[in-house]
């Protein structure tokens, strides 16, 4: 099992950051660079405990599907989604939010296990971990922009 942790400081209230992170339309906007779209399950609004959805996106040049379920939701501090089906043996994304100065510290903890045993482990170290980090950095940069822009309106 591999773990990736990423922290993003956002100059916006914790409740706004939490709700934007679990808003389906905002998620699609922040992942547009992968041509992500919803192909099943909840397709709009705020994700709640038990909600399921299936994404289709292009990662590493390959169109992939990933279905996940929200398995934990403690507004506005934490929610967790877990893969039901997809390319990984397992994937769990923990989203944590904490007040920080005049804004919010958003922490992503991504835990995954690739298929294919040893070969999957090699792919993790050479390609997958960097790709997942780049995906989250880009997504969080866009979420930060959206949250901070809402305060300027």
Q: Work out how many domains the chain is built from and give that number.
A: 1
Q: The domain spanning residue 133 has which CATH number?
A: 3.30.530.20
Please write the tens of the pLDDT for every residue from 20-35: 999 999 999 999 889 9
What is the model's pTM?
0.92
Please write the tens of the pLDDT for every residue from 11-20: 999 999 999 9
- Is residue 95 pLDDT above 90, yes or no? yes
- Is residue 92 pLDDT above 60, yes or no? yes
The three-point CA angle 131-115-80 to 5° equals 65
* High-pLDDT (> 70) share of the chain, %: 96
Please write the tens of the pLDDT for every residue from 100-150: 988 999 999 999 988 777 776 667 777 888 989 999 999 999 999 999 998
What domain range is 68 assigned to? Answer: 2-152
**How confident is the model at residue 121, as a pLDDT?**
67
Spatial CB neighbours of 116, under 8 Å, sequence gap ≥ 6:
123
């Amino acid at each position: 099992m591999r773990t990736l942790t990423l922290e993003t400081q956002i100059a916006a209230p914790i409740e706004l950051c939490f709700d934007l992170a679990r808003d389906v339309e905002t998620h699609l906007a922040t992942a547009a660079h992968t041509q992500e779209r919803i192909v099943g399950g909840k397709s709009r609004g705020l994700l709640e405990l038990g909600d399921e959805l299936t994404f289709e996106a292009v990662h590493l040049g390959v169109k992939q599907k990933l279905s996940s379920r929200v398995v934990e939701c403690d507004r506005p501090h934490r929610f967790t989604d877990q893969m039901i089906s997809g390319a990984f043996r397992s994937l769990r994304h923990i989203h944590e939010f904490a007040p920080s100065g005049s804004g919010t510290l958003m922490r992503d903890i991504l835990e995954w296990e690739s298929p294919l045993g040893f070969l999957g482990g090699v792919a993790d170290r050479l390609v997958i971990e960097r790709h997942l980090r780049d995906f989250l950095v880009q997504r969080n940069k866009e979420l930060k922009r959206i949250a901070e822009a809402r305060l300027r309106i």
